[in-house]
């Protein structure tokens, strides 16, 4: 059943980082209010939200009060404790739903799910312990990547195994956490596709973007990506397949490797995605508004691209060059973070590429 939120309704967002902040701005443009739940003090999203609750995810009283004060709940990161979701789902609808979260929280479940849909992934093997590592290496071989099943992001919780002798050290890096071993994919480049699915089951995808990472962190996204027309269509079909299979409501980012044997799915994120920030200046309706529309039961908006765009993340002391960025025609989006730290995402700029 479609639940359409009226103007003035309140959206609860779990997590108060930059994604929450940009969701809150989009919500307020649509006349909706936002209540942020975030354990850390002074979250970036707090500056632009109607209300902020500062409490931990095991504070049941705070979660209950939050859940009662909102009309729908969404989130800006995927590692939300299950116990918090168990409580919140009795108080308000949660979009995207539990299946999407549970699947994306665990790399083994995620890869198994993707393969079950008939999609191509890297070869993978479960590595619950040191004994399983040997069998996994035998079946996958080197080079490979060992990744923790849970809580990995921006390249954290990963170790590369270039030759079989590296395997023991890589396993030690996991610090006892259950892991999966992935065969190394020989890709030409990395792309992502941002898709959305409304409460009525309609699906809309943005043009795929081409991503460049540095030290495991997204550095730039450019659109259009270097893809053939059929690869572009494949990317859209892959996103739609995942969205439909999960009966998904909201925006999702799907990361793909481009190879000579087709597109290989790396992972999906059940939320707005850093590689979709270009849509703020390249599309009529950006990924943040699209997500709010979907979870609010509104029709999806027109996400067609009207310009070529390059998005560049401002990471750590890139912020010291802010005045230089401001002198160019780049559209600046800052997250309101005052402490500059190495590797910290401070903002991004979008440049329209004029030909
Ligand atoms: P992830 O945390 O899974 O998104 O991985 C971070 C980055 O590591 C990706 O964007 C790729 O550049 C690289 N990577 C991850 N998995 C593989 C793989 N199986 N083969 C080759 N490169 C990978």
CATH code where residue 170 lies:
3.30.1490.20
What was the pLDDT predicted at 158?
A: 87
- Would you say the CB of residue 192 lies under 6 angstroms from ligand 1? no
Say whether both 174 and 233 belong to one domain: no
CA-based R_g, the chain, Å: 20
Say whether both 209 and 344 belong to one domain: yes
Cβ neighbour number for residue 287 with a 10 Å cutoff: 29
Residues for the chain: how many in total?
355
What was the pLDDT predicted at 153?
A: 61
Say whether both 333 and 194 belong to one domain: yes
What was the pLDDT predicted at 172?
A: 86
What was the pLDDT predicted at 154?
A: 58
- Would you say the CB of residue 258 lies under 6 angstroms from ligand 1? no
- Classify residue 104: in a domain, yes or no: no
Instruction: Tell me the Ramachandran region of residue 126: left when phi exceeds 0, alpha when psi lies from -120 to 50, beta otherwise.
Output: beta
- Is residue 276 within 8 A of residue 206, CB to CB? The reply is yes
> pLDDT digit string (tens) for 12-45?
999 999 999 999 999 999 999 999 999 999 999 9
- Would you say the CB of residue 267 lies under 6 angstroms from ligand 1? yes
Say whether both 198 and 347 belong to one domain: yes
pTM to 2 decimal places: 0.96
Query: What percentage of residues in the chain have a pLDDT greater than 70?
Result: 98
What was the pLDDT predicted at 335?
A: 98
- Classify residue 101: in a domain, yes or no: no
Domain end among 166, 183, 200: 183
Say whether both 147 and 179 belong to one domain: yes
Q: What is the CATH number of the domain that holds 82?
A: 3.40.50.20
Domain end among 144, 161, 183: 183
In the predicted model, residues of the chain with pLDDT beneath 50 are none
Domain total in the chain: 3
Say whether both 264 and 339 belong to one domain: yes
- Classify residue 116: in a domain, yes or no: no
- Classify residue 35: in a domain, yes or no: yes
Q: E-assigned strands of 215-340?
A: 217-223, 250-259, 262-269, 308-315, 331-334
Q: What is the DSSP letter of 185?
A: P
Say whether both 83 and 173 belong to one domain: no
Say whether both 177 and 199 belong to one domain: no
- Classify residue 111: in a domain, yes or no: no
What was the pLDDT predicted at 155?
A: 61
Task: Please give the span between the terminal C-alpha atoms of the chain, in angstroms, as a whole number.
Answer: 46
- Classify residue 195: in a domain, yes or no: yes
Nearest-10 Cα torsion for 90, 96, 99, 101 = -100
- Which atom belonging to ligand 1 lies closest to the Cα atom of 157? 2
Q: Which of 266, 275, 343 to mutate to test the pocket of ligand 1 (most atoms within 8 A of CB)?
A: 266
Residue 72, strand partner residues: 11
- Classify residue 48: in a domain, yes or no: yes
The C-alpha angle 36, 277, 248, rounded to 5 degrees, equals 65
- Would you say the CB of residue 145 lies under 6 angstroms from ligand 1? yes
What was the pLDDT predicted at 167?
A: 82
- Would you say the CB of residue 78 lies under 6 angstroms from ligand 1? no
Cα(241)–Cα(225) distance, integer angstroms: 21
**Span from the CA of 317 to the centroid of ligand 1 (angstroms):** 25
Domain end among 55, 75, 94: 94
Cα(30)–Cα(46) distance, integer angstroms: 18
What was the pLDDT predicted at 292?
A: 98
Q: What is the CATH number of the domain that holds 322?
A: 3.30.470.20
Say whether both 290 and 330 belong to one domain: yes
Cα(76)–Cα(88) distance, integer angstroms: 15
Cα(163)–Cα(156) distance, integer angstroms: 20
The domain containing residue 164 runs over which residues? 123-183
Say whether both 287 and 312 belong to one domain: yes
Q: Where are the alpha helices (DSSP H) in 188-298?
A: 229-245, 279-282, 287-295
- Classify residue 102: in a domain, yes or no: no
**Span from the CA of 125 to the centroid of ligand 1 (angstroms):** 15
**Span from the CA of 190 to the centroid of ligand 1 (angstroms):** 9
Say whether both 339 and 279 belong to one domain: yes
Q: Where are the alpha helices (DSSP H) in the chain?
A: 18-29, 60-69, 82-88, 98-105, 107-116, 130-140, 167-173, 229-245, 279-282, 287-295, 322-327
Say whether both 129 and 200 belong to one domain: no
């Amino acid at each position: 059943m479609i639940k359409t939120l009226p103007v003035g309704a309140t959206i609860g967002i779990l997590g108060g980082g930059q994604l929450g902040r940009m969701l809150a701005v989009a919500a307020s443009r649509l006349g909706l209010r936002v209540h942020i739940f975030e354990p850390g003090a002074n979250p970036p999203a707090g500056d632009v939200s109607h209300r902020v609750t500062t409490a931990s995810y095991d504070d049941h009283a705070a979660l209950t009060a939050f859940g009662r004060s909102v009309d729908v709940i969404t989130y800006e990161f995927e590692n939300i404790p299950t116990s918090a979701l168990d409580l919140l789902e009795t108080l308000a609808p949660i979009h995207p739903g539990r299946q999407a979260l549970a699947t994306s929280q665990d790399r083994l479940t995620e890869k198994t799910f993707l393969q079950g849909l008939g999609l191509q992934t890297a070869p993978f093997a479960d590595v619950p312990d040191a004994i399983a590592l040997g069998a996994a290496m035998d079946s996958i071989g080197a080079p490979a990547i060992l990744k923790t099943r849970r809580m990995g992001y921006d390249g954290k919780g990963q170790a590369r195994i270039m030759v079989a002798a590296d395997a023991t050290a890589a396993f030690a890096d996991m610090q006892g956490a259950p892991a999966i071993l992935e065969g190394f994919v020989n890709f030409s480049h990395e792309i992502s596709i941002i898709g959305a699915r409304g409460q009525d089951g309609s699906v809309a995808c943005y043009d795929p973007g081409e991503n460049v990472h540095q030290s495991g962190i997204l550095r730039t996204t450019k659109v259009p990506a270097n893809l053939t027309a059929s690869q572009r269509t494949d990317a859209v079909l892959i996103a739609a397949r995942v969205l439909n299979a999960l009966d998904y409501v909201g925006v999702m980012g799907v990361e793909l490797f481009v190879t000579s044997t087709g597109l290989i799915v790396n992972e999906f994120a059940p939320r707005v995605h850093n590689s979709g920030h270009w849509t703020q200046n390249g599309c009529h309706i950006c990924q943040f508004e699209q997500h709010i529309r979907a979870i609010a039961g509104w029709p999806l908006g027109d996400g067609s691209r009207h310009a070529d765009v390059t998005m560049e993340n401002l990471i750590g002391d890139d912020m010291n060059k802010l005045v230089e960025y401001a002198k160019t025609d780049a559209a600046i989006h800052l997250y309101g973070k005052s402490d500059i730290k190495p590797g910290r995402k401070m903002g991004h700029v979008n440049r329209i590429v004029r030909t």
